[in-house]
Copies of this chain bind each other. A is one copy, B any other.
């Protein structure tokens, strides 16, 4: 007995020493200076260096283009929707630090500090040159374990506490939450022991903070997170080396280990070989240089301007663009020029990715809770890292930074978080040739050039490439590309011939001991359409078969378009049906075209996958905004986040589905359209060790908005305008 206790004691000591060693060796992971950790690109060296160059091709580094580095210290707001500036962030921090609520607290953290957008009528009335409406910050603070929503008037210093009601859930985690939780298990000797027992050197450990969802009593009133770990021995792609079955439940507030589940001791850690995807880790003699260099070139430069840091003007479009810690990218006040009148016409007041829902399809102990809601839990914008020039965006791109606040309110700059570029991939805007049948000498073709706004959020393993693409014909395409790395599960199997046909692997055997678990992705967009003015209606244009009467026609049937104006929200809860199709228009009932059609835009669905989970399943209750593919709600400033304001561990009582079920009137009102892009993902071996991008998109598209084709008069390409290029000199 005594001997056993001594052994335990020695082990504990050993573990602690190891832990200390590890902490010292890996100090950058928990730096004392939070700003340095967070301030990717402006101060910390790693975000801008490219390790592939560092390790094998240092001479190339100087050839890499460097987008202009901006310091933002002199930024001032020019537009009512401009995000908070560095100076404003600092003012907010000062105001709050002396405010009674925070000053008297034993601990607090600011989970969100963003511009409190002025009321919509104020923004709509505002014109360039007018004074800005009062600048306010909307702050979500957690003070002694209680969430508060504060409105901070930056000029007057006034702080107002807003009532949020007694809804469940917690604010978006801070980066500090995620970091501290990730390393919290190392303070636990049992955890360290189990790691060592699995044969893993603590220095090779990489852990991830996995939102625990909500499944009942245990999650209540306590902010919890689950930590799962991986071995990074021999690979940068530790995601492919799970320590399967080991789940550590952590209290996010106390960093205390609540529970350790350790159920995968018989499951080997998959091998490191062939998992590293970095260029520097490949055998260069096996390099696969498949294509000659190719580039989008604009000899006269780009055709867009960014006025006052945020107002993008391109071709016939104009919109306000900003980074947001939760949504990622926010497009506001999108207007398009009417080619007839020259007037800029309102299309969309505000559009952004409101929430994501990513349920994994494995009900077992270490997997059931993986039902991510990336925007509200992790911050879709917080996870968007600096873009890689020439690869994430073409050479002709313009880069925009995000300025966010750390948990203590200190602002930091996320450099090059968004890029804007003109795209031409050889597509055709419109064309017509006359055929020999008519014998006319006509061949008229116009190339299609678009403007893309891009962000890439890396929510741990997965990478979401979020594009807003503007076309000159008035169409806006919202596209999401999925790349990055699968979340995989360890298994004893190395070949499918070992697997009994009855057994459910919950996914695909991707490599020896690696299963890619089936999952869905849903990305729900908030689209506050303002077609010319704010008051709009939602019209379902149902396409129905009509049977002809006997003798009426040699045809038995044809399709007819039947218009139905949605009166209330339930009329606009849409499940798409291939055999009962409709078009979905947002129209301005007060404005008609010359020949009397209501002006409008339609949402053109794409990327349609529907959630099939039980509607009463806890994850689906929280992700109930995916119960329909389309919803329409009356504009309500407080209804912006489809999964609710406090998504973390929410129970689903503040989702779009709940709001919509109030069944409010939506006809001829200021309305918001919600669209959900969906993907079912059954992994395949091609997704290993990193996934080729899979994309889906939907469009919002003018429908009788213009009197006629708005790009009728654009000229064709002619040789004399195109650049003269030569190969760059070799190094």
Give a binary string over A232-249; 1 marks a CB under 8 Å from any B CB, 0 the rest. 000010100000000000
- For A37, A388, A475, A594, which residue has the most chain B Cβ atoms within 10 angstroms? A388
* A63 / chain B contacts, CB cutoff of 8 Å: 718-720
Tell me the A427-466 residues at the B interface (CB within 8 Å).
Answer: 427-449, 452, 454, 456, 458-461, 463, 465
Q: Which residue of B lies closest to A561 (CB)?
A: B682
**Cα–Cα distance between A704 and B465 once the two chains are bound (Å):** 24
Kindly provide the distance from the CB of A252 to the nearest chain B CB, expressed in whole angstroms: 14
Among listed A134-142, A259-267, A277-285, A344-352, interface-contacting one: A277-285
Tell me the A143-194 residues at the B interface (CB within 8 Å).
Answer: 175, 178-179, 182
**Cα–Cα distance between A122 and B56 once the two chains are bound (Å):** 49
* A422 / chain B contacts, CB cutoff of 8 Å: 291, 294
In the assembled complex, A391 has its CB within 8 A of some CB on chain B? yes
Give a binary string over A197-223; 1 marks a CB under 8 Å from any B CB, 0 the rest. 000000000101100000110000000
Task: Judge whether B274 and A708 touch: CB under 8 Å.
Answer: yes
* A125 / chain B contacts, CB cutoff of 8 Å: none
* A178 / chain B contacts, CB cutoff of 8 Å: 436-437
Q: Which residue of B lies closest to A458 (CB)?
A: B433
- For A38, A282, A718, which residue has the most chain B Cβ atoms within 10 angstroms? A718
Kindly provide the distance from the CB of A343 to the nearest chain B CB, expressed in whole angstroms: 14
In the assembled complex, A633 has its CB within 8 A of some CB on chain B? no
Known: A287-B715, A435-B460, A684-B702. 14 other contacts (CB 8 A): A51-B441, A60-B718, A277-B444, A287-B713, A292-B300, A294-B298, A296-B296, A363-B552, A391-B428, A428-B481, A496-B592, A685-B704, A685-B706, A724-B726
In the assembled complex, A90 has its CB within 8 A of some CB on chain B? no
- 4 closest A-B pairs by beta carbon, nearest first, are A425-B425, A496-B596, A363-B553, A299-B727
* A454 / chain B contacts, CB cutoff of 8 Å: 426
Q: How large is the interface on A (under 10, 10 to 19, 20 to 34, 35 or more residues)?
A: 35 or more
Among listed A93-101, A651-659, A689-697, interface-contacting one: A689-697
In the assembled complex, A400 has its CB within 8 A of some CB on chain B? no
**Cα–Cα distance between A620 and B300 once the two chains are bound (Å):** 53
In the assembled complex, A3 has its CB within 8 A of some CB on chain B? no
* A425 / chain B contacts, CB cutoff of 8 Å: 296, 423-427
* A49 / chain B contacts, CB cutoff of 8 Å: 441
Q: Choose one: B364, B369, B597; the contact of A508 (CB below 8 Å).
A: B597
* A494 / chain B contacts, CB cutoff of 8 Å: 595
Task: Judge whether B428 and A558 touch: CB under 8 Å.
Answer: no
Kindly provide the distance from the CB of A34 to the nearest chain B CB, expressed in whole angstroms: 11
Q: Which residue of B lies closest to A392 (CB)?
A: B445
In the assembled complex, A472 has its CB within 8 A of some CB on chain B? yes
Kindly provide the distance from the CB of A327 to the nearest chain B CB, expressed in whole angstroms: 17
Give a binary string over A566-590; 1 marks a CB under 8 Å from any B CB, 0 the rest. 0000000001111101010000000
* A279 / chain B contacts, CB cutoff of 8 Å: 444, 715-716
Task: Judge whether A442 and B713 touch: CB under 8 Å.
Answer: no
Task: Judge whether B510 and A595 touch: CB under 8 Å.
Answer: yes
Task: Judge whether A435 and B459 touch: CB under 8 Å.
Answer: yes
Task: Judge whether A682 and B541 touch: CB under 8 Å.
Answer: yes
Tell me the A33-60 residues at the B interface (CB within 8 Å).
Answer: 37-38, 40, 46-47, 49-52, 60
Kindly provide the distance from the CB of A457 to the nearest chain B CB, expressed in whole angstroms: 9
Kindly provide the distance from the CB of A95 to the nearest chain B CB, expressed in whole angstroms: 27
Task: Judge whether A295 and B296 touch: CB under 8 Å.
Answer: yes
**Cα–Cα distance between A497 and B547 once the two chains are bound (Å):** 27
Task: Judge whether A433 and B463 touch: CB under 8 Å.
Answer: yes
Q: A388-B445, A432-B485, A447-B390 are in contact. Are A556 and B617 (CB under 8 A)?
A: yes
* A496 / chain B contacts, CB cutoff of 8 Å: 592, 595-597
Task: Judge whether B721 and A728 touch: CB under 8 Å.
Answer: yes
Kindly provide the distance from the CB of A723 to the nearest chain B CB, expressed in whole angstroms: 4
Task: Judge whether A435 and B423 touch: CB under 8 Å.
Answer: no
Q: A688-B709, A691-B430 are in contact. Are A290 and B277 (CB under 8 A)?
A: no
